[in-house]
């Protein structure tokens, strides 16, 4: 079985005081990020890569 590790992060952005809640899941050697309703947002090979992609999505 693959390694599965979950944790939830509450992140606040300074611009516009946007509060975003998301869950980071480590699944089978990569990272997936889901929003507060459980919808898939993005993924990456590392947590940093996935968070960078999330930043790009939230800046758009």
Q: How far apart are CA 60 and CA 58, in angstroms?
A: 5
Q: Are 41 and 33 in contact (CB under 8 A)?
A: yes
Show the domain range for 36.
Answer: 4-59
Number of domains in the chain: 1
Q: What pTM was computed for the model?
A: 0.70
What is the rounded radius of gyration, in angstroms, for the C-alpha atoms of the chain?
12
The whole-number pLDDT of residue 53 equals 93
The whole-number pLDDT of residue 27 equals 84
Q: Are 42 and 59 in contact (CB under 8 A)?
A: no
The whole-number pLDDT of residue 49 equals 95
What is the mean pLDDT for each group of 10 consecutive residues in the chain (60 residues)?
57 58 84 88 93 84
DSSP symbol at 51:
H
Sequence-ordered alpha helix ranges (H) in the chain: 47-59
Residue with the two structure tokens 């309703």: 37
């Amino acid at each position: 079985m693959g390694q599965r590790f979950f944790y939830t992060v509450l992140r606040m952005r300074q611009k516009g005081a946007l509060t975003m809640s998301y869950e980071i899941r480590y699944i089978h050697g990569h990272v997936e990020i889901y929003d507060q309703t459980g919808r898939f947002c993005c993924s990456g090979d590392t947590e940093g890569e996935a968070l960078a992609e999330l930043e790009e999505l939230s800046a758009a």
